Amino acid sequence: MTPAADTERLPYTPDQVAEALGRSWRTTLLTAHRWMVLGRTLDSRMQALQRQGRVGFYGAATGQEAVNVAAGLATTPDDWIFPGLREQLVALVRGHDLVAYAHHLFGDARDPAVGRNMPCHPSAREVHYVSMSSVIGTQVSHAAGLAYGLRLRRDRGVAVAFFGDGATSSNDFHAGMNLAGVFGLPVLFCCTNNQWAISIPVDRQTAAPTLASKAREYGLDGRRVDGTDLVAVYRALAESLARIRAGGPAEMIEFVLYRMTPHSSSDDPGRYQPGDWAARARAHDPLDRLERWLRENGMMDDAASARVRADADDTVRAAIRTAESTPAPAPSTLTEGVFRDSAPAPLAGDP
């Protein structure tokens, strides 16, 4: 399976970008750049902290920031996000507080889930960001189910499900796509094809010519988009969301991109990736591509870029400092919200 057309830089004129992003295209690009830098900064800090033993686990989204930021900007508050492992930036762009997310990463007393979930598995009710299910592919059918509810309630929202290339081999992918197709549900399936399911490359995962082609077999529109091109990603998402919001059927977009980090902090890709993978992935870095375009078109210089990076670094470090100095959840919280009474009475005969 070949990736989307390789391009050295975003091949657009400013007029073409304006047409793709609308009247406030300059603000959109600069806002997207700021968020992409924030995501990149958070990933690199958290990976270092995990290595230092300060957080238990981390799954980076490095290389996938264009999709996450564009999704955060193109969706509306009515929409619902069903993430995989790498979409936390979508929640932040939609308004989830970075400090709250840092509390979650440290599993401390102010973590909205009071330390019950693995780090990197947040939920953010206020921005309709549903808790990630670690069971690969299940969010595809969860999203279709919620979309069924939205249809019944005549709600304007669209359910947006994110899942990896590997997830397209799961039972739940089949169940969710089929349900969405049969009932014409308001759901947008976003496949982030980073070309690896841990150690399994995408061409060992499926004999289908593309992942987007799978959608067509369920009667849905399936398109491939270069997931490292912020403009193309934003336009594709905005167009699909508008069609679905207007009553159109579910759609799937396959975003082709490159996993630039290990699968997670528990992985060693040196054992299975070809030696030139890292260099190939770096050549398709979505942040580099956007920043180069901004510089070539007079919208960014060294000073502005350094400022954005310094701001992101300050913001991320401050959030981490706050979370790291927060105590662990009290042991008594273990059963709160789980049982009606604070702890179940021991069974007769228990020691």
Catalytic site positions: 259, 263, 272
Residue nearest to ligand TPP (CB): 164
Q: Is the dihedral of CA 170, 90, 193, 212 positive or negative?
A: positive
User: Which residue, 73 or 260, has its beta carbon nearer to Mg ion?
Assistant: 260
Q: Which stretch binds ligand TPP (CB under 6 A): 73-81, 103-111, 140-148, 161-169?
A: 161-169
- 199-206's contacts with Cβ under 8 Å and 24+ in sequence apart are 199/263, 199/267, 199/269, 199/271, 199/272, 200/166, 202/1, 202/165, 203/1, 205/165, 205/166, 205/168, 205/169, 206/1, 206/168, 206/169
Rg (CA), the chain: 21
194 belongs to the binding site for Mg ion (CB under 5 A): yes
Dist CA 23 CA 13 (whole Å): 15
Q: Which 77-96 residues touch ligand TPP, going by CB under 6 A?
A: 84-86
43 belongs to the binding site for ligand TPP (CB under 6 A): no
166 belongs to the binding site for ligand TPP (CB under 6 A): yes
Selection from Mg ion, ligand TPP, none that 286 binds (CB < 5 to 8 A by kind) is: none
38 belongs to the binding site for ligand TPP (CB under 6 A): no
Q: Is the dihedral of CA 189, 193, 194, 196 positive or negative?
A: positive
Q: Which of 197, 215, 241, 323 binds ligand TPP (CB under 6 A)?
A: 197
CB of 192 to Mg ion, least distance (A): 7
User: Which residue, 122 or 157, has its beta carbon nearer to ligand TPP?
Assistant: 122
194 belongs to the binding site for ligand TPP (CB under 6 A): yes
Q: Which of 45, 263, 284, 289 binds ligand TPP (CB under 6 A)?
A: 263
From residue 212, alpha-carbon distances to 169, 191, 206, 271, 315 in Å are 13, 8, 12, 29, 37
* C-alpha 237, offset from chain centre: 13
318 belongs to the binding site for ligand TPP (CB under 6 A): no
Q: Which of 165, 254, 285, 291 binds Mg ion (CB under 5 A)?
A: 165
Cβ count near 311 (within 10 Å): 14
Total of residues contacting Mg ion (CB under 5 A)? 5
164 belongs to the binding site for ligand TPP (CB under 6 A): yes
Binding site for ligand TPP (CB under 6 A): 84-86, 134-136, 163-167, 192, 194, 196-198, 263
